[in-house]
Structure 1
């Protein structure tokens, strides 16, 4: 991707568009999708939308009982066990899917955590980086044969405006030598989501696999905000004094159905044929942020309910994307071989 591809295309959709509206009249019979985080928040609404259009949807879940309760009554959905912070469970989940011989047409990496206290996985990796990025990197690598088999697959990485909080700090991604800051940790992982989509698209397009990253909007009440206090959420402008979500799509404050729309658009829209590696928001390609240094200095742009749109240059830097790819292979001990099976 070159920077000039990071420009809106005038899709005709917008901030208030829902996933159901994106799929209006679409028949997804014969399409197979895997959606992480598919049993809460925007992930659940993404599952509901794709399944209602006829897609077969597989939802990996750490808590299969909770997933079963959340997904009850939705046809065309199966649940498998997987924990993004456990590399062995990722391998097991992927192996079971590959054993079916099915092609994988859509992979939406939607699961994530935000603003968590410092926790490390068994390898010593910081939880945001482990869950939001490394787990999805490994999952995508293991599912690569099925994505190639689809001969036209799409991978969607659910990122966030929070990528403004931090670039990837390659010298210390796991906060071993620097003080831990929960929003910087979250922001670094969201930048990694964008860089991963950029690097994956570059490597996968000749194999028929295109990749995209998205900012779904700010959606309260999904569980993502569990580590934020009432006062923090109210100060951010995402809930009112009674704790009710504030809904205003023009300010990026959306329902879960609206939040799922950009993921669905990236996964299926013919408007994106021949494009890839781009960061999208409000069902369109996002613009590149101008005067990024001023944005970084502006504390208002760090607020959870920020109106700020667009992607920061540090998140679409091809050199950083390649560097992240190499680091991810090293940290996961997964050689992500494009063009053939591992």
Structure 2
């Protein structure tokens, strides 16, 4: 398979932070939207983009909580966005378009991870696929006029190395025949990558480039907020992410990063001049990830995070087109 997953030798490392990636980049006059930009990786990305001069709109279900988290950060506004509610997504996009502002950066960052039991949204869609992928797919389509108006825009989908665990379950994306929360999460993250690839193919001539950014394995975000606390702790111990006392183990070279380090690859995708003529790629450690042909879908625990490179099924162009068409049907249903 012909692919574009060739590292650039960017000069950054796995330990680089968002501020370091943005050093020397002036985002004055640029507009950004960050979903979930008040917590975890989104908060770090929002801070870094605003510090570099961007005007940032944060989409959040809880605007009061977002206002508290973002207090004191200049250049940031908050608007309500519930990715599980199609009407809320459309309303957010409409309000942004009505403002008349071009949109230079869209960070599709918000997400949930591995509920213990199957949860369906009001449409009957599995909640992780609906939130992590379909909500962002609908939002991006709604914001396309503003992205085109930027005459040079980037859309970055926050993905995960968990993509190696599952392709799209074409015949059962909503787990009607048996639920596995981790596989459902992996499917949604694979969808984030395929969406970025097809967006780039369809929209690059309009000046819109798509990227999927793997931030690393981050302890201390709220991503696992839908999981029981004891289950989260057990998973973190098994993966070597925390010690026996619960303190995070930080080792960027093995993918274990701080939120500031994790956000770096996201803002790298959003701003790096090295990517000016390149889109439709999976990013890792502030560079383009190499392709990993050796995939063990049954890897568990610490074995799962030994390689976080992109895998073939996540960048398959035929799958990317198929997912786009399926997603269009699902959001119109």
Shorter-chain TM-score tier: over 0.9
C-alpha distance in 1 between matches for 2:43 and 2:149: 26
TM-score normalised by length of structure 1:
0.93
| Alpha carbons 1:33, 1:56 under 8 Å: kept | yes
Output one character per residue of 1:91-148: Cα deviation in whole Å (capped at 9) or x when no partner: 0011000001100000000101111131111101000000000000000000000000
Distance in 2 (CA, whole Å) between partners of 1:111 and 1:244 is: 24
Alpha-carbon distance in structure 2 between the residues aligned to 1:206 and 1:229: 43
Q: Deviations over 1:150-176 (max 9, x none)?
A: 000000000000111110011111112
Match of 2:141 in 1: 141
- Structure 1 Cα separation of the partners of residues 3 and 131 of structure 2: 31
Q: Which residue of 2 aligns with 1:307?
A: 306
CA contact (8 A) 1:165 1:302 kept: no
Match of 2:150 in 1: 150
Separation (CA, whole Å) in 2 of partners of 1:201 and 1:170 = 22
Match for residue 332 of structure 2?
A: 333
TM-score (norm 2): 0.96
**Secondary structure at 1:132 match in 2:** helix
Q: Please give the residue correspondences for 1:94-105 in structure 2 after superposition, counting only pairs within 5 Å.
A: 94-105=93-104
> Aligned Cα RMSD in Å?
1.3
Worse-matched range after superposition: 192-201 or 25-34: 25-34
Q: Is the 8 A contact 1:29 1:53 kept in 2?
A: yes
Q: Is the 8 A contact 2:240 2:302 kept in 1?
A: no
* Aligned counterparts of 2:94 and 2:174: Cα–Cα separation in 1: 28
1:296 maps to what in 2? Answer: 297
CA distance in 1, matches of 2:298, 2:180: 17
> C-alpha separation between the residues in 2 aligned to 1:232 and 1:265?
29
Shift of 1:307: 2.2
Structure 1 residue 291: deviation in Å? 2.6
Aligned residue for 2:256, secondary structure, equals coil
Distance 2:237 2:151 in 1: 46
Distance 1:261 1:102 in 2: 26
Check conservation: 1:129, 1:188, Cα contact below 8 A: yes
Is 1:171 the counterpart of 2:171? The answer is yes
Structure 1 CA distance for aligned equivalents of residues 53 and 156 of structure 2: 19
Closer, same or farther: CA 301–242 of 1 in aligned 2, 3 Å: closer
Q: Is the 8 A contact 1:63 1:81 kept in 2?
A: yes
1:6-85 equivalences in 2 (<5 Å): 6-85=5-84
2:273 to 270, 275, 279: 270
Distance, in Å, in 2 between the alignment partners of 1:199 and 1:239 is 37
State how far apart, in whole Å, the 2-side matches of 1:290 and 1:325 are: 24
Are 1:9 and 1:285, in contact at CA under 8 Å, matched by a contact in 2?
Answer: yes
Q: Find the aligned partners of 1:106 and 1:253 in 2 and give their Cα distance.
A: 26
CA distance in 1, matches of 2:67, 2:269: 27
Deviation at 1:300, TM superposition (A): 5.4
Number of residue pairs aligned between Structure 1 and Structure 2: 328
Question: Structure 1, residues 181-230: CA drift from partner, whole Å, max 9, x if none?
Answer: 00000000000000000000000001000000010001111011231432
1:169 aligns to what SS in structure 2? coil
Q: State the Cα deviation string for residues 277-305 of structure 1 (Å, max 9, x = none).
A: 0001000000111233xx224445764xx
In structure 1, distance between residues paired with 2:72 and 2:139:
27
1:337 is matched with which residue?
Answer: none
| Structure 2 portions without partners, runs of 5+ | none
Distance 1:212 1:269, change over 3 A: same
1:106 corresponds to: 105
Q: Write the mapping of 1:227-246 to structure 2, written as runs, cut at 5 A.
A: 227=227, 228-246=231-249
- Alpha-carbon distance change, 302 to 136 in structure 1, aligned in 2, over 3 angstroms: farther
The alpha carbon displacement at 1:239 in A equals: 1.1
**Residue 338 of structure 1 corresponds to which residue in structure 2?**
none
